[in-house]
Structure 1
Amino acid sequence: MTSYKALVKDVINKADVLLEVVDARFPDETRNSEVEKEIIRLKKPFIIVINKCDLVSKEKLDKTKSRLSRIAPTVFISSKDRSGTTMLRHQILASACIKGRDILVGTLGYPNVGKSSVINGVTGRHRASTSPVSGHTKGVQHVDAGSHIMFMDTPGVIPFDENDEYVQGLLGIKDSTHLKDPVGVALMIIDKMLAENRTALESFYNVTLESPDSYSVLEQIGRKCNFLQKKGEIDEMRTATKIIGDWQNGLLLV
């Protein structure tokens, strides 16, 4: 953890502008108060980049932007279709106000929020290495985005003292193979979908939910996918693994 703290401080010190990349589905959970405090302490301009905005409703996005814009300039991004990338480029240039040299832009955020994908969206080409596996970026990579913008792509910033694997599962920091309780994480995903977009859950798995109970929903999805063990019992682990994978791969819209 010490190495992560040192890396973060080094990036903040060197950068002219910082991007804090957050997941649109969990904007508050993927903000890092330690990072924000350090940026503010050093009086560095920063932009909150809400990535994966294609995975949430417009109503939720508008509410999130209204709230976070009070903290820092806030820009929506969808790495999937590159929407918002031109606006982000303009915001970087406006925030830095530097002439005569490249603007050094530090990108910070949790594993798997899509920092490298945001960079690739702005540059318009695949320059920062990406992977669906969290923690893919190793060390600091410099990426030339043109128009005097140079990105510093960094590994995910793991929250200090963060040990909640349920949150890590929801945020995609850990995939199902690294979770001690995949079924519990899948049930949390189902609870969130039931509360925020039940229709999308039914549509994606092609089911009409018979119960508001999350475990009953997991069983129903398991039956629909034909994930059965001997005597017709649901294969909980296989069903949970699929739900977690669908969630972390952005196939479920909240």
Structure 2
Amino acid sequence: KSIISQGKRLILLLNKIDLVPKANITAWLKYLRLELPTVAFKASTQEQNDRLGRFNASHLLKQNQGSKCIGAELIMSLLANYCRNKDIKTSVRVGVIGYPNVGKSSVINSLKRRRACQTGATPGVTRKLQEVELDKHIRLIDSPGVVLASREQFDPVEVALKNALRVEALSDPISPVIAILRRCTVD
């Protein structure tokens, strides 16, 4: 609400949709779109450094999407509309913010259609803000993962489950497993 009250725009991006059942994606999109523009997204997992492929939005909720990006065209369209509506003469800066290891750098690489940001399977690859020019009107800002918690809320198990702490750094690696099992249904 603080961001919106400053006249800034928000777009929610649900990344890694290939890892979630289609019904869950559809339900979350319906719910979240009541408040803000929300895009289902799958970052490209292609190995080459440039010319990363994309599918258009019609492939958005198909079961087997392969290695190409999904949702980029919709994000690009939303960003282009924001630029046009504000009659921007220079460029708009877009912050990409989220928990550690949710794919922020991969999203930027997919939108840029080349490897502009370093990525990795462990948290902490992005250590500082990095600006990437998407085109002459849009600049994306890659950011390190953000975990908002006060000192009183700092539970190492919860922080590890949010991928903000390497599991190897825990003195008790069993506690996160137990916490995950508690959240699972018997089904």
Taking structure 2 as the reference length, the TM-score comes to: 0.76
- State the alpha-carbon separation in 1 of the partners of residues 157 and 26 from structure 2: 27
- Alignment correspondent of 1:180: 171
Structure 2 residue aligned with 1:114: 103
Q: 1:86 aligns with which of 73, 81, 84?
A: 73
1:117/1:130 contact within 8 Å kept: yes
| Paired residue secondary structure (1:195) | coil
**Which residue in the other structure is 2:13 paired with?**
49
Q: Which residue of 2 aligns with 1:248?
A: none
- Alignment deviations for residues 150-194 of structure 1 (CA, whole Å, 9 cap, x no partner): 1111111221314133332222222320223321212333454x5
- Whole-angstrom CA distance in 1 between matches of 2:5 and 2:123: 29
Partner of residue 239, structure 1: none
Q: CA deviation at 1:104?
A: 1.3
- In 2 relative to 1, CA 147–61 (structure 1 residues): closer, same or farther, beyond 3 Å? farther
1:195 correspondence with 2:185: yes
1:208-219 matches, within 5 Å, as none
Q: Is the 8 A contact 1:144 1:151 kept in 2?
A: yes
Per-residue CA deviations over 1:60-82 (Å, capped at 9, x if unaligned) read: 11111111112210011111431
Distance 1:181 1:69 in 2: 39
Count of residue pairs the alignment pairs up: 160
| CA apart distance, 1:119 | 0.5
CA distance in 1 between counterparts of 2:17 and 2:157 reads 22
Once residues 166 and 181 of structure 2 are traced to their aligned partners in structure 1, the CA distance between those partners, rounded to angstroms, is: 16
User: 1:65, 1:74 within 8 Å by CA — same for their partners in 2?
Assistant: yes
Tell me the amino acid that sits aligned with residue 160 of structure 1: A
> Following the alignment from structure 1 to structure 2, what is the Cα–Cα distance between the partners of residues 150 and 135?
22
Task: State the secondary structure of the residue aligned to 2:115.
Answer: coil
For the Cα contact (< 8 Å) 1:110–1:159, is it kept in 2?
Answer: no
Q: CA separation in 1, counterparts of 2:75 and 2:121?
A: 23
Equivalent residue for 1:68?
Answer: 32
Q: Which of 147, 164, 167 does residue 158 from structure 1 map onto?
A: 147
Q: Tell me how far apart the structure 2 counterparts of residues 53 and 195 of structure 1 sit (CA, whole Å).
A: 21
Equivalent residue in structure 1 for 2:82, among 84, 92, 95: 95
**Residues 128 and 144, structure 2, Cα contact 8 Å, conserved in 1:** yes
Tell me, what secondary structure is at the counterpart of 1:152? strand
**1:141 matched residue in structure 2:** 130
Distance 2:34 2:147 in 1: 25
Aligned partner letter, 2:110: G
Tell me if the contact between 2:90 and 2:136 (Cα under 8 Å) persists in the aligned partners: no
Q: Which has the larger radius of gyration?
A: 1
The structure where helix makes up a greater share of residues is: 1
Matches of 1:176 and 1:38, distance apart in 2: 33
Q: Aligned pair in 2 of structure 1 residues 103, 144: CA closer, same or farther (>3 Å)?
A: same
- In the superposition, the TM-score normalised over structure 1's length comes to 0.57
Identical residues among aligned pairs (%)? 30
Runs of 4+ with >6 A deviation: none
Alpha-carbon distance in structure 1 between the residues aligned to 2:76 and 2:109: 12
Unpaired segments ≥5 residues, structure 1: 1-36, 199-254
**Letter of the 1:70 counterpart:** L
1:104-162 deviations in whole A, cap 9, x for unaligned?
Answer: 11111111111111111111100012122212212211101126221111111221314
